[in-house]
Amino acid sequence: MAEPRATGSGRAMHALLRELYPICRSITGDGVRQTLHVLERHLPPGLQVHEVASGTPVFDWAVPAEWNIRDAYIADRQGRRVVDFREHSLHVVSYSTPVHRWVSRAELEEHLHSLPEQPDLIPYRTSYYNPTWGFCLAHNQRQQLLDDEYEVCIDSTLDANGSLTYGQLVLHGESEEEVLFSCHICHPSLANDNLASLVVAAELAQWLAARPRRRYTYRFVFVPVTVGAITWLHEHQHTAVPRIRHGLVLSLLGGPGNFTYKSSRQAQTTIDRAVAVALRDADLGGFEQRAFSPYGYDERQYCSPGFNLPVGCLTRTPFGEFPEYHTSADNPDFVQPRQLKESWRVLRRVCQVLEHNYAYQNLSPFGEPQLGRRGLYKHLGGGLDGQQWQMALLWVLNQSDGQHTLLDVAERSGLEFRLLNKAARALRQVGLLTKA
């Protein structure tokens, strides 16, 4: 059997991000399929690609017509492309209807989008459910369009007989209870939003696949934002959905800011607490916890009242709170390998908390058992390491009444979860502890 490859390489994740960056993605179309095809080479075996026909009712929505684009430009009288989709996929408003004609400068202005306050950047705009066409460009570039008329061409299609594409990977564990990781896969050339999370999720899946045993089954879902998550929920409402015990929406995991965690609608579920402990233990310079709100990414779909799943959202700096957000400045240079690796490490810690969060029963509960004669004390001359190890043993013994889990102990003691889990293993080995 081949040795599993090493995981957690920030450079490898960044290289994959650069490979995915040029692809023009939207909520449907070949860009999503191409992205899943590339991801499949970097995931454990078993990625399933699903196609749901346009027009399919999914709760209060319907799967939209499939959008694809081949080319787009604005050209002057000399045939020079002054705005060229081939240079950057953000130049076209996503889901633009096809157009090819000459327009006046005044009419063109009605279909242009730029950022006067960030004049060198191209904005990201969409028209998913409001049929129109448009171009996005740097404001400085826009101010140079002085001719009386221009040729506009958007060579796109909207196919009512198309489909919506999503992917999912299931890593089976000892239990059918599931942990869900969900990423949106519909943004074009934006590196932090959300390519960073796709590559971190792929790396996390490889790490989980290499584990000899998994307590939970892990499901990775790659869906177009909003309608994709709603479609997935509709298709799995009677199968996978009832098995979900913990879940995270992953987004914006490659930027430079500190981590931010938005809790599930239920709040204080195991996943909410596990993420808080994992971030605390990672000691990366602080993090922020925010209460649930019904606005944001697909956590609002998973947490809608009909489902009310225990699904939170993990990001670094949240959407709309960094100047590069939804602009051409969100490029591969904005995302650093170190930040990708940090995000992977945090998620690895979250999984470790979920995997090892058991309640235990102290088998010698009348007073403290004698630990020294069982070889559990390290003779380190009173150093901090020895003191923390002693405290971990004592905390685990004291709280192991069959009711408290290791996560409870980690929260109450302030000690690192990994240390408490190590202490629990040591106490089990000498017959002082058993799983409740």
Write out the binding residues. 187, 193, 326
List the binding residues for Zn(2+). Answer: 187, 193, 326
| CA pair distance 56, 61, nearest whole angstrom | 8
Is the C-alpha dihedral spanning 107, 113, 114, 115 positive or negative? positive
> What's the alpha-carbon Rg for the chain, to the nearest Å?
25
Q: How far apart are CA 207 and CA 6, in angstroms?
A: 8
Residue pair 118/323 in contact by the 8 Å Cβ criterion: yes
Backbone phi, psi, residue 297, to 5°? -100, -155
Which residue(s) pair with 136 in the sheet?
Answer: 113
Classify residue 381 by burial, with Cβ atoms within 10 Å: 0-12, 13-18, 19+: exposed
SS3 content of the chain, % helix, strand, coil (to 5): 35, 25, 45
The partner residues of 126 in beta bridges, in order of sequence, read: 94
- HEC-encoded secondary structure of 338-397: HHHHHHHHHHHHHHHHHHHCCEEEECCCCCCCCCHHHCCCCCCCCCHHHHHHHHHHHHHH
Distance (Å, rounded) from C-alpha 292 to C-alpha 300?
9
Contact 32, 64 (CB under 8 A): no
- DSSP string for residues in 202-254: HHHHHHHHTSS--SSEEEEEEE-TTHHHHHHHHHHTTTTGGGEEEEEEE---S
